[in-house]
Chains A and B, each alone.
Chain A
Amino acid sequence: MAEIAEPKLKQRPIVRLGIFLISHSLFVSIVCFTAGVLALLLLPVLAKNTYISENALMPGSANNMLSSHDTSVANKLVKDLTDLKLRSRGSEFDSQKLIAQYMFDLGAEVTHHKFYPQSNQFHPLHFFTSPDSGNIGKNISCSSLGINTVGIIRAPRGDGKEAIVLVTPYNSMKVGVEEAFSLGIAYSVFSLLTRATWLAKDIIWLVADSQYGEYSAVAAWLTEYQAPTFSRAHIVNSETCRESNIVYKHGQKPNAEEKLYDGFRRAGTMAAALVIKVAKQSDYFEDTVNIYAEASNGQMPNLDLINIVNYLAVHKQGLQIKVSKMWSLLNYRWLYTLGVVFESLGQIARSLNPQWKFGIPATEYVEGTATLASSLYYQGLGVPTGPHGAFRDYQVDAITLEISSKVPLTKMARRNEFLIRGGKLIEGVVRSVNNLLEKFHQSFFLYLLTSPSKFVSVGVYMISFALLVAPLPIVAAYLHVEASDFGSIQPKEKSASQASSASKMNVNFDSWKWLKSARKVFAFHLWGGVVSVLPYFISQMPNLTAKTSFIVWILLSVFSLLVSYMISGPSFSEAAASQSQKKEWASLKSVTISAAFIGLSLTSVINFATAEIGALLIVPICLMARPLKLDIKASNLISLMRITSNLVLGFIGFPPATYFLLKGVFEGYSGINVGDFWEWLESLWAWNSATYLYIGLVHLPCWALCIHILFHHC
């Protein structure tokens, strides 16, 4: 790149464009960054209405067949379950037996699946391996046995190669009315589907034992379904726990229990999965359905699945659809003002050309922004928002539907209506998916929702990220040229004589000088790796509260940073002592920016939302960083402004500071505890979120390098 500064006689247009961009890097970076932020704010305006992309789905084209007969049987099940709880003298497996009996009476194949809940454990090396490499925990005790009940209907018109899964999480230890109702809805659909002649895909109804968490129960069943392990430890354990299985042998209804198949039953590959939950009474004046779709690392189910649910709920059943929102954003004045500005801009555009459909009402804009922010946050967090997340790991599209009623469910009169509404919605979705000939593939996998019926696709939201990171390579190239160009100007002046040619030989190693900075950047990233592995060892220490472990972590990180400084200290000072130390920071900054660029681009592929949020935080400090000493020497208005903005950005970029600031802004500063950050990070690594890796391996080292540049002695 060194040749770019030396103008040659005639260069190709693309090279000239490159030189132009690089030489005006300051201007370009300001323009790109502002445009990136603006594009992000414009996303709710640019959102498109959802549409059903796969023609085969045909939602709502058939009449609902769910009858009052189905709901009345379901109502009976609900009553039985709640009664069982009221009596509360049977063993914990009674309710499972009851459900199994009900399933069996419908003519379904019923099995119980026993599993040992696996606590999520951080294993630093397991991030990059394939999903099936998780091994069974060592300390399995028979007391922590969970039991899923699975019922399968074989499709009369199918070949048994495909299946649709219904999941109802259910805690046998404490049955609430809501959980009983979720079972009731699933049961009413199930009872209808046993009689349906049009069924082409098998139906699996999984009653997941959620006493050890909903996710782990579903995940355990899925692992057994998709990737069974044949390890010896597993068999031995199920042998030793035979005692606890005896409960099945002497049921009060022997005709059903004896026919229970003891093994694991499978249907075909899963086309889709629906997790059905019933929430407490809603705050709205209508029955509502909350949709949760985010799986691990920001993966989303195919948009068509959400579209069907949305279409059927709104147009057929008259239910209100909700997706999660950041409520605190709704109260911001500036956001509303921005919405008004966009609205008036849209009006101007429309007055110029009625074809331009740009701009939405301000209130809608604020709502869209709140939804978008929550969508970004939950995708960026990388933690699944419900048991549907387990399905995505096996490439099965799944969502959680949380149905809530407008009146309390204890009222008898409402029960049937609620059951029939929920049941019809599920029936419609199942019937639609049943029509599917292939896997979901038509619609989007990468999208952000701005409302249940509006989305921003990858092609649109990538623009804002691309604009945010575009200045990075340009500024890196500019700084690199500047840093390596420093020496090679002198020999050019007197190139004829031999002495100069000798000095040229010497100076020419400048084009490899970046290696020194690269070594430093590498050392910092290595430190980042060490810091991100440390929590694993800290969590092994017993009896540590979140606060103390957080402090221990900080101390150890600082200590390791100091050690790495000490080890590589001589080489640093040597580098500083060389004559070109003036430009040393420029070269260091150029390599830092390149590292940040590579890291951000990589993260954007793994989890876009993380990269977007991370870019907003790290790009400004990366672009602005400049030794404070230089600015203090200059001491004019611009340099003063630069000093303050650098310090502020440096503070904001520090991950714990960012966390506490954002938490304070959104939830108020009153309830902030030092240990919160540790708990938040713990949840991230427990779920193997890539965001944790991003923070440890990209964000933290780049931030530390920027701070290093700020305090550079030049």
Chain B
Amino acid sequence: MRESKGSAKIRWFWIWVTASLIFRLILIYFPKSLNLSSRPEVSTPLTSIRRLAEGYWLKQSSLSPYAGSMYHGSPLLLTLLGPLTVRRVEGQPDHLLCSLVLVIADVVTAMLIRAAGQSLKMSSSSSLKSVGLHHVLEYSEVLPSGDIAALVYLWNPFTVVACVGLSTSAIENLMIVLSLYGGCTRQAPLAAFGWVMATHLSLYPAILIIPVVLLFGYGPDAPPRKLLRQRTKFDNSSSIDNSSVEKDVKNQLRELNFSWKPVLHFLFWILLWSSYVLVLCGIYARQHGGLKELFRRTYGFILTIPDLSPNIGVLWYFFAEVFDFFRNFFLIVFHGNVLLMIVPLALRLNHRPCFLAFVYTVVACMLKSYPSVGDSALYLGILGLFAYELSDMKFSFFLFCGYVGVSLLSPVMHNLWIWRGTGNANFYFATAIAYACLQLILVVESVSAILNHDRMLTKLTGAKLQDVKA
């Protein structure tokens, strides 16, 4: 009975995946009417395909692709996607091949999220067993969180819009998820490749190195280690002679301590991949000013925020208003803000590295210099992985309404400002602030929900231990 239900569920899952694929393909055929690739919400200076095509064109006419101030992305992306931007299929919309690549990237990301979710679930069930909370397990099995997360990612309007709007953020998301997946399944080369590429493409994923290292050091998300320690102590004292339990406990004990070996392995692979990427970039940029110029045009562009065209973030407005001599100070303040939150969060959530990665992505998305809806698509997808842990999250309805409201209001305000002229920049910026606040509430509420969940687990194990003692 259960098996048939499970297979039906799997079938439904694949039907939905195919439906999302078809939905995207249909939307791709209306590029002119939807005109999504020119929306500020979708294409930022870093992710716009039009800029990429321009860079490729410059490159073809043997100029530096970074000449002018059009393209600021990675040279590797240019060599991969560039040839596809010029190839036209007769009678088909422009950039058809690019959009197909992005659709494939989306689907692969969803599959990776699903696989990561499955491995997360396996590890969490084994750790819950070792703590002795079997009944909690039953309810967690009701929710196939990997499938949910994959479908949330695929059907999220933000993902669809970013994909149809030809934003290269789909590829960045793929790399980030790849490194998380590699971390969950302990494949150091894969994780290192994902991390290096994601950092190379958009710089901000660099902070994800902490969750990935934690994944290698401690293993995937588990209840607080304090519980495991208590449990093992208790087991040792009450000396239950059950070989299988003993083995389990020993396994867990090993995971309690930070294991340096896989971490070093991972770091070694990072070194390898990053030197490889650097060499490739060096070859590419040799004629156009070398690596230094390349870094100035890509990472420098991200860090110094010279492009103040409106987007859904909050920084453009601030730096348009701020006096020039304070500019450097505030640049440091804002980027420092991202770094400031890393350490406390890592200390508090080190037993849940995947969730930590989620929190980092939201924080980065909030304080990014050129955010787009593709970033939100990523963290909302990862959020689905914790559907069970977050089941009693507060304000979920409010957040949902807020996201719907803001994402509808923002284009209208933009239209009011740019096309009708009856509004001004403040109208649009107000929606950007509202959006940032929503993200803030999402982070705060989800972190507190996870901590509450951990507290509940602690309480339950405590109660159980007392029961057994009695």
Contact = CB atoms under 8 A, between A and B. Distances in A.
Interface of A: 1-3, 123, 125-126, 128-131, 133, 299, 395, 445-446, 480, 496, 498, 501-502, 505-506, 508-509, 511-512, 514, 518, 590-591, 594, 598, 601-602, 605-606
A511 B394 CA distance: 7
Interface in B431-465: 456, 460, 463-464
A605 B400 contact: no
A133 B412 contact: no
A602 B409 contact: yes
B298 to A, nearest CB: 30
A512 B421 CA distance: 41
A505 B136 contact: yes
B420 interface: yes
B33 A509 contact: no
A446 B34 CA distance: 29
A445 to B, nearest CB: 5
Given A498-B460, A505-B139, A606-B412, A299 B397 contact: no
Contacts of B419: 130-131, 395
Contacts of B398: 1
Given A508-B392, A605-B413, 4 more contacts: A123-B33, A125-B34, A299-B422, A598-B401
B428 to A, nearest CB: 11
Interface in B402-440: 404-405, 408-409, 411-413, 415-416, 419-422
B391 A511 contact: yes
Contact of A601 (B35, B135, B405): B405
A342 B415 CA distance: 40
22 contacts: A1-B397, A3-B394, A123-B33, A125-B30, A126-B33, A128-B415, A133-B33, A395-B420, A498-B135, A498-B467, A501-B456, A501-B460, A505-B139, A508-B392, A511-B391, A514-B396, A594-B397, A598-B405, A598-B408, A602-B405, A605-B409, A605-B412
Nearest to A518: B400
Nearest to A130: B419
Interface residues of B, number: 36
B33 A129 contact: yes
Contacts of A508: 391-392
A661 B332 CA distance: 63
B421 A125 contact: no
B409 A601 contact: yes
Interface in B239-257: none
B385 to A, nearest CB: 15
Contacts of B391: 505, 508-509, 511-512
Contacts of B415: 128
A3 B396 CA distance: 12
Contact of B422 (A129, A446, A501): A446
- The 4 tightest CB contacts between A and B, nearest first, are A125-B33, A395-B421, A508-B392, A505-B139
Contacts of B422: 299, 445-446
B393 A511 contact: yes
B432 to A, nearest CB: 15
B395 interface: yes
A1 B395 contact: yes
B32 interface: yes
Contact of A602 (B397, B412, B464): B412
Contacts of A590: 397
A459 to B, nearest CB: 15
A494 B421 CA distance: 61
B139 A2 contact: no
A124 to B, nearest CB: 9
Contacts of A395: 419-421
B404 A598 contact: yes
B33 A480 contact: no
A175 to B, nearest CB: 36
A605 B401 CA distance: 17
A130 B415 CA distance: 8
Contact of B392 (A480, A496, A511, A605): A511
Contact of A605 (B35, B395, B416, B460): B416
Contacts of A505: 136, 139, 391
Contacts of A506: 139
Chain A CB within 10 Å — which of B419, B422, B456 has the most? B422
Interface string B106-137: 00000000000000000000000000000110
A506 B136 CA distance: 10
Nearest to B467: A498
A125 B421 CA distance: 22
Nearest to B34: A125
A129 B32 CA distance: 9
